[in-house]
Amino acid sequence: MTTEKQLVQTDIWDFLQSYTSARIARGRAGHSLPTKELLQFQADHAQARDAVYSSLDIQNIQDRILHETVVLQSKANTRAQYLQRPDWGRQLSEPSKQILKDIIDTPQDIAIVVADGLSANAVNTHAIPVVNGLLNVLIQHHWRIAPIALVEQGRVAVADEIASAFKAEIVLILIGERPGLSSPDSMGAYLTYQPSVGITDERRNCVSNIRPEGLNYPAAIEKILYLLTEMKTQQISGVNLKDEMQGKLLY
């Protein structure tokens, strides 16, 4: 009897696994994957699905972020609504709108938003060191910083409404990205100059794949600070703002 071990064929490209965690060159057993690789695929798929349904650890983030926070909710009350109605994830609930009206009425340089997005696990893991690293620099340079907004069931555009309420010149949202089979905990950062409700994505700049296995914390903080500085100096963002960070000194 022929065993699977005898059927397994190694892939000539398996050396590429030394350079990437992407699912590449996993071998074959007949017309299928080897059992080990098939089981790993199923496990990674389950982990990605779990990330989509994970919840924001509000208390831990509040306890560890070095700035005042405010907890908000999008118009989507449940995860099912969030997934089925993307437009509701871009809007604040009425109680959250009222909370913002009661907080602050003076212009701010920046509003920082932390939202669960499609992977709260990513935000729970990575947002705290990134936010605190940014705060350390921004406070030193006298940026006026609105309370950090923690948003449940939020999508990127919800940050525009929050920034408008805070009268913030720039908004930064840290959000869980769509989970991949090799990256269920990837966090993204979106930055916008002069945000307002209804703007489109060409007005935003994105820093993606923030996690130790991707863009590590120091590199992500440096990139975000560069973009914030350029936005404040040039008064533009999105497709109009070219990334010429290489060789420039930050702060």
Assess if residue 33 is contained within a domain: no
Mean per-residue pLDDT over the chain, rounded = 88
- What value does the mean pLDDT take over residues 59-83? 96
pTM of the model: 0.85
At a CB cut-off of 8 Å and minimum separation 6, what does 79 contact? 53, 153
14 in a structural domain: no
Token pair listed for 61: 């983030």
Please enumerate, by residue number, every residue annotated as part of a binding site: 156, 177, 206
Residue 22 placed within a domain: no
- What distance in Å separates the CA atoms of residue 224 and residue 214, rounded to the nearest whole number? 15
The pLDDT of residue 16 is above 80: no
Task: Give me the percent of the chain exceeding a pLDDT of 70.
Answer: 85
27 lies in some domain: no
User: Does 3 map to a domain?
Assistant: no
Sign (positive or negative) of CA dihedral 158, 160, 165, 171 = positive
Q: What is the pLDDT of residue 9?
A: 56
Q: Is the pLDDT of residue 227 over 80?
A: yes
Structural domain count of the chain: 1
Statement: residue 95 has pLDDT above 70: yes
Please report, for the domain that includes residue 64, its CATH number: 3.40.50.11240
pLDDT tens, position by position, 152-171: 999 999 999 999 999 999 99
Nearest one of 110, 185, 118 to 141, comparing CA atoms: 110
Range of the domain at 103: 58-240
Where is the binding site for adenosylcob(III)alamin, in residues?
Answer: 156, 177, 206
150: tokens are 């923690």
Tens digit of each residue's pLDDT (9 = 90 or more) over 17-69 = 777 777 777 777 777 777 777 666 676 666 667 666 689 999 999 999 999 99
Q: Tens of pLDDT along 170-215? A: 999 999 998 776 678 899 999 999 999 999 999 999 999 999 989 9
Instruction: Report the pLDDT value the prediction gives residue 3, as an integer from 0 to 100.
Output: 54
Residue 46's pLDDT is: 61
Provide the percentage of residues in the chain whose pLDDT is more than 90.
69
Q: What is the pLDDT of residue 32?
A: 77
Strand positions, DSSP E, the chain: 8-9, 28-29, 69-73, 108-115, 148-152, 168-176, 187-193, 204-210
- Domain membership of residue 192 (yes or no) is yes
Q: How confident is the model at residue 248 (pLDDT cuts 50, 70, 90)?
A: low
pLDDT of residue 48: 66
| Torsion sign over Cα 229, 226, 108, 65 | negative
Residue 34 within any structural domain of the chain? no
Let me know: does 113 contact 135? Beta carbons within 8 Å: no
